[in-house]
Chain A
Amino acid sequence: EAEVAQSPRYKITEKSQAVAFWCDPISGHATLYWYRQILGQGPELLVQFQDESVVDDSQLPKDRFSAERLKGVDSTLKIQPAELGDSAMYLCASSIKLLGTSVYNEQFFGPGTRLTVL
């Protein structure tokens, strides 16, 4: 069964360091999402891609976070510099939804990357 892949699964870093997370969506999925999930809370959308284009990054802290999906397939989320408050689970999800259609296509989530900032 196809799955969303994420790496690393766990990351420990010191504040002010740079970190990067990688996501490989299910093959053929045009839409890719990055979420942040603080312990005990629901996921919060950071950025949404349609192919290689950003559809929504209104919740992305752009002073320190960046995301790219250069070839419209896999994606990288970067934090520089990391802060203590960035400790969370970072989830990637993908769906086959095509922009402009009204049909909802299920978002499939990866296992996440657990980030701890010391």
Chain B
Amino acid sequence: GESVGLHLPTLSVQEGDNSIINCAYSNSASDYFIWYKQESGKGPQFIIDIRSNMDKRQGQRVTVLLNKTVKHLSLQIAATQPGDSAVYFCAENSGGSNYKLTFGKGTLLTVNP
């Protein structure tokens, strides 16, 4: 079946550096994508989203890039802070207007002080 996956399971960066987390998706019909952050012992928390008619969207310190040609999604975190340490998941909408989310496996981001 079609799925959402991540290239890198772990990422370690120094505080203040920029982080890039990547995600590959295989469902060409997906029209909406979300990045979630999950801290230990907590549920996933929405970070930023993007629709398939866009290729870039910016938030506060975060940017999501979408490349539909190669079915690739990335999350960029500027000036990474220790509080950014968590597992990051990308998710795609596979349910049309019901918004059924399919999550990838996650990348563990560790920020070293």
Are B93 and A104 neighbours in the complex by a CB distance under 8 Å? yes
- Of the listed stretches A35-43, A65-73, A77-85, chain B binds A35-43
Are B41 and A45 neighbours in the complex by a CB distance under 8 Å? no
Contacting B100 at CB < 8 Å: which of A40, A48, A102, A110?
A: A48
Are A4 and B100 neighbours in the complex by a CB distance under 8 Å? no
The docked-state distance in angstroms from the alpha carbon of A48 to that of B101 is 11
Are A56 and B95 neighbours in the complex by a CB distance under 8 Å? yes
Q: What residues on A are CB-neighbors of B69 within 8 Å?
A: none
Q: What residues on B are CB-neighbors of A99 within 8 Å?
A: 97-98
**Could you tell me the dominant secondary structure of chain A's interface residues?**
loop
Are B106 and A107 neighbours in the complex by a CB distance under 8 Å? no
Closest Cβ of chain A to B113, distance in Å, is: 25
The docked-state distance in angstroms from the alpha carbon of A98 to that of B106 is 29
- Of the listed stretches B11-19, B43-51, B60-68, B71-79, chain A binds B43-51
In this complex, the interface size class of chain A, counting residues with CB under 8 Å from chain B, is: 20 to 34
Using an 8 Å CB-CB cutoff, how does the interface string of B18-50 with A read, 1 for contact, 0 for none?
Answer: 000000000000001000000001111110010
Closest Cβ of chain A to B9, distance in Å, is: 8
Q: What residues on A are CB-neighbors of B42 within 8 Å?
A: 111-112
Using an 8 Å CB-CB cutoff, how does the interface string of A43-78 with B read, 1 for contact, 0 for none?
Answer: 111001000000110000000000000000000000
Are B44 and A109 neighbours in the complex by a CB distance under 8 Å? yes
Contacting residues of chain B (75-103) with chain A, CB-CB under 8 angstroms? 89, 91, 93, 95, 97-103
Contacting A107 at CB < 8 Å: which of B4, B32, B95, B101?
A: B101
Are B43 and A42 neighbours in the complex by a CB distance under 8 Å? no
Closest Cβ of chain A to B36, distance in Å, is: 8
The docked-state distance in angstroms from the alpha carbon of A40 to that of B106 is 7
Contacting residues of chain A (80-112) with chain B, CB-CB under 8 angstroms? 91, 93, 95, 97, 99-102, 104, 106-112
What are the 5 A-B residue pairs with the smallest beta carbon separation, nearest first?
A: A42-B103, A109-B43, A42-B89, A109-B44, A106-B46
* Other 20 A-B pairs with CB < 8 A, given A97-B99, A102-B97, A109-B43: A4-B43, A41-B106, A42-B4, A42-B91, A42-B105, A43-B44, A44-B103, A45-B100, A45-B102, A48-B100, A56-B100, A91-B43, A93-B43, A100-B97, A104-B32, A104-B49, A106-B46, A107-B99, A108-B46, A112-B42
